[in-house]
Each structure stands twice: as C-alpha cells, then as structure tokens.
Structure 1
C-alpha cells in the first residue's frame, strides 16, 4: 500500500510540475494577413484562419496551454476550431490534440504523423489525426484555398507546409526556424535529413512570391528573402560538411570544425540556441553519411 501511495504521489508531483512550467506562459496574437493570425506561447508557432466557416488551426503547442490558446482564439473569433492541422508529430506542435479533439476539432496530418503518434504510448489513445494524406490536400475555407503539401524526410518524415493562397501566407512548420533559432533541427532519429530540409525550403520558395508572409515553426514572421537566406545556409552547410567527409574527416573532427558553419553563425552566437553549431554539424555529418549509404 505504501508503495502504491508513493507512486501516486510522485505521479501527482510530476503532473503538477509539468503544468507549473506553463503557468506564466502568455499567448500572444499577431495579425499576419487579413484573417490569418500567428499565436505564440511555448512551443511551435500556431497559425489561425478565422471567418464565417469557422476556425482553421495549424499546430497546438502543449496540452497544459490548450485553455489559454482557446481563450486567445475567442478574442478573434466566436467560431469553434473546425480543423486542426499538425505540421508534424513533435509534442510542442501536437501536444494539445486530445484537448482540441474533445472540443470538436477534426485533426488532419500526414500519414506518418498518425503512425508516430499511434505508436507512442503517451499519445496512442486520443488526439490522433482522423484525416491523413500522403502527398497533398486542399481545404476551401474562410475565402481561402488552403493547400497542404508533404515534404519528404525534412525536419521529420511527416512534415507539411500549409499555404493560404488568397491570403498569401505560408506556414512552414519546423522545416524553417527563424530569428533566435540560428540553425535547423534535423530530427534524424525520426526520418529527418538535411537534404530533405533543403528540398522543403525549395518547395516552399516555389509556392510563394516576394509579398508572401511566412510563419516559421519557431521565431517571428519572415519574408521570402529571409526564407531564401535560410535555404542558402542549408545548402552551404551541406556542401561544406560533404567536402569534409570527402577529405576523410571523422564525425568528431567535423563536429569540432566551426569553420564549416561560421559563414552563417559563429558557435558563440548560437551557443544559447536550441541547436548549437556543434549539434548542426553532427546532424549534417550523420545525415550526409546516411544519404551516401542509401545510394549504394
């Protein structure tokens, strides 16, 4: 009995601690274009389309923030969240799925997002996407053609770009980091690759024009020029690390070579970023080696 009581107390303490880290988080709302808004709090950027057809939502951050996010949405629309798109499966973008599903939202994502959520004991029982797609999907809502397209093995193996055609707004999910997030996060263990992230940026750039406003996975709203700069950085890192591998450098030698990424950000400049210079060089090394193995 004492053991059961201790376990219960520890579980309660854990839940309380998890909830507590979000107590002081504020959800901010930034108008992006006519009826499109970006919400920021803790986790990935949320995109919102509002109008007579209801609320179309992209990503939902962490579960303890769902009530705050819902209250923020109510300040710009009295309609319910009709559709919720997950740009990928990571918890800072899909953690609120169960709560929004319970409130009536229909969850949409790439096939691999559902597979990964369904294979995780923490997320298998609820909040799974009920509509999935393999390549593309289009929604017609709030006077927008909303084009959703899968980008292969980029940040993960289930990423999607969401483009509001009439409003000319693109949500990239975590295939694009901006602002204080210096380097990309390539989740190699979950199907991500540097080459795929480059292709994702190429695809996004083909969809948009110079007037497009871009909601990145993390960071402030961006321009096409800033998105292009991010793409060029990915290409440069891929080229530099590929050359180092060709010269016979080991993984640890590549990780130690700041010169491979210094043209974009110094290690000191990125030391407080989620992905440091050392982390992106290690990810690039592993990703490029995997590419080479796949072609043999």
Structure 2
C-alpha cells in the first residue's frame, strides 16, 4: 500500500488528524513563520491526546519482527524465547492499546527496549515498559537528554526530566551489537542528524533496518536544532542507511507508512537535497525567511510530502535554519 492509499491519521503514526502546523490563513494566504509556530504551540499536547485513543496497527514483517503503528513513532518488536524486544516506546498514554497489541504477538514477557533517540514520541513509554521488565539501551546522548529538562524551540515546549525508571541504564557511544532471540541486532550511531542522539537498529538475519527519525516516509520531517539536529545531518543519516541496504531490505521509518524500502528512502533523500539547495540559493541572495517562505521553495514536493504536521512553511523554516 502506498502512502497515498493510507488515511492520514493511520499513515503518519502520530494519529494526529486534528492538529498540525497550518500553512494557510483563513483567507487562503500563506502564514508567516511566526504565525505557523503560534498555530503549532499545542502540538505536543495534541499528539499526546490523540495517542490516548488511537488504535495500534500491527504489521508482521519477517524473522519474528513486527511493527506497531499508532503511538508516536513506529515501534519495531522482536519476539522469541528471550522475551520481547521493542525498538522505541511510543507515548505513555498508549499503554492499554500497546499492551493489547504486544499480547497479540505472543506470551513472551517484555525484556528489552532500545530508544532510537530521546524525543517524547519515542521514549515517553520508557517508564511503564521498564516497570514491565524492560532493560533500556540507548545512545549516551539519549540518556543525557532524558535525565535533564529539555527545550525544543520549534515546538515552543519545555520537557521536564524523565523519571528514574525511564532513564536508559545501558548506553553506548558509536556502535553496539546485541544477540537476542537467535537474532543479531546492530546498533549504529548516525552522528548529529534529526537530533544528536539518533541511532539505527538493524536486524541482520531478517534484513530489516529501523532508520528512526532520519526517515519520515511520505511526509516532511521535523528537525530538532535545539538538541543537535540539522538538515545536512538528516541527509547524511539517510545516505548512511542507503549505503547499507539493498532492494531486498525492509526499512522501518520513524514516522509515516511503517513498511518501506530503499527506493522510497532514496526518493526521500533526493527531496531533502533538492529543497535544501533551493532554500540555500534563496538565502545566498539575501532574502529574508519570510521572503523565502513566500517563494515556495518546496512547491514541487508539497503534494506528496507536505500534507501532515510539518507543512511547507514550517519545513522551509527548518531548512533555512541549517543552510
């Protein structure tokens, strides 16, 4: 099923059909970047409220790996005799739906959790999953961000420090290999990308890669400059995943339609590069952010990529910050 075939709420993973960053004013004119951010100020609370009732869809892949869609970012699950391992924790208020979905995958207990980065839509469920028995593993920068209060400027939101049970007890700096359920998991640090804490998780035998939030399938991505992200880093992350995958590899994006492939990731990378180059060229001409937004440097891609929470104006602003 292509992204265009999915209903918006399901396709995007957040299940955020009623929120988002509006791009147009009631009179049909483009909002200024400041107006866009004003419209988006309730984004975190809106996402949490939507996750409280959103259904969880289970997508069975191969090699005892499945994807759960509907609570924040896409969650990968590996089942087997060593217990259930989750890649990302979703949003805490989704616990009842996630519990039911996990039970449908078998009777094994939850024993391990890997966070791909620190953002709330991927780590907010850490505390309850740890209480269920999950040992939490993440990059050292994920722990750094979760253990202290964080501000995300482009969400205009201050996150408090996470509770002790939500903090990863096991961290790494560059790479880590995990043997579990007769599978080899390779964890690789992207370097600063979507944030400064992003990792990929490869299920070697199944040839499946969870690319995390360096890849938003069919939608413009959020880039968190407040905690080390950048447009160039996001592009480098996409290119790093392209370099280690083939046409047979299943790629799990952080958001969007949860089952993807190398061709779709390549199209995403090419879109990022084209828009970055468009915005950079306008910025070199000395144009202001408002002038660049009005020039619509994303126009060729908006119909496919600009239909969700990160609209054309906000994405233009995010790219502008990094060029």
Q: TM-score with structure 1 length normalisation?
A: 0.85
Shift in Å, 1:166: 0.8
Shift in Å, 1:154: 1.1
Shift in Å, 1:64: 1.7
Partner residue of 1:199? 236
- What residue ranges of structure 2 are gaps of 5+ in the alignment? 1-45, 150-159
Q: How do 1:97-136 and structure 2 match up within 5 A?
A: 97-120=126-149, 121-136=160-175
Counterparts of 1:250 and 1:103, CA distance in 2: 51
Partner residue of 1:225? 263
Counterparts of 2:125 and 2:73, CA distance in 1: 12
Shift in Å, 1:174: 1.2
- Pick the aligned partner of 2:322 from 271, 287, 291: 287
State the SS of the aligned residue for 1:265.
Answer: helix
Partner residue of 1:173? 212
- Pick the aligned partner of 2:94 from 65, 76, 91: 65
- Pick the aligned partner of 2:185 from 142, 146, 158: 146
Q: TM-score with structure 2 length normalisation?
A: 0.78
Partner residue of 1:5? none
Could you tell me whether the CA contact under 8 Å between 1:143 and 1:166 is conserved in 2? no
Counterparts of 1:78 and 1:286, CA distance in 2: 47
State the SS of the aligned residue for 2:217.
Answer: coil
Could you tell me whether the CA contact under 8 Å between 1:36 and 1:48 is conserved in 2? yes
State the SS of the aligned residue for 1:233.
Answer: helix
Structure number with greater CO (CA < 8 Å, separation at least 6) is 2
Counterparts of 1:153 and 1:164, CA distance in 2: 22
Shift in Å, 1:249: 1.6
Counterparts of 1:200 and 1:70, CA distance in 2: 31
- Deviation per CA, 1:259-278: give whole Å up to 9, x if none: x2122225xx6664111111
Could you tell me whether the CA contact under 8 Å between 2:51 and 2:70 is conserved in 1? no
Counterparts of 1:21 and 1:47, CA distance in 2: 20
Counterparts of 1:209 and 1:18, CA distance in 2: 34
- Pick the aligned partner of 1:251 from 280, 289, 292: 289
State the SS of the aligned residue for 2:199.
Answer: strand
Residue range with higher mean Cα deviation, 193-202 or 134-143: 134-143
- Pick the aligned partner of 2:104 from 75, 91, 94: 75
Counterparts of 1:42 and 1:189, CA distance in 2: 23
Partner residue of 1:53? 82
Query: Over aligned residues, Cα RMSD in angstroms?
Result: 1.9
Partner residue of 1:261? 298
1:93 to 2:122 alignment: yes
Could you tell me whether the CA contact under 8 Å between 1:163 and 1:170 is conserved in 2? yes
- Deviation per CA, 1:27-59: give whole Å up to 9, x if none: 111111231100012311100011122211111
- Pick the aligned partner of 2:70 from 27, 38, 41: 41
Could you tell me whether the CA contact under 8 Å between 2:51 and 2:72 is conserved in 1? no
Could you tell me whether the CA contact under 8 Å between 1:145 and 1:164 is conserved in 2? yes
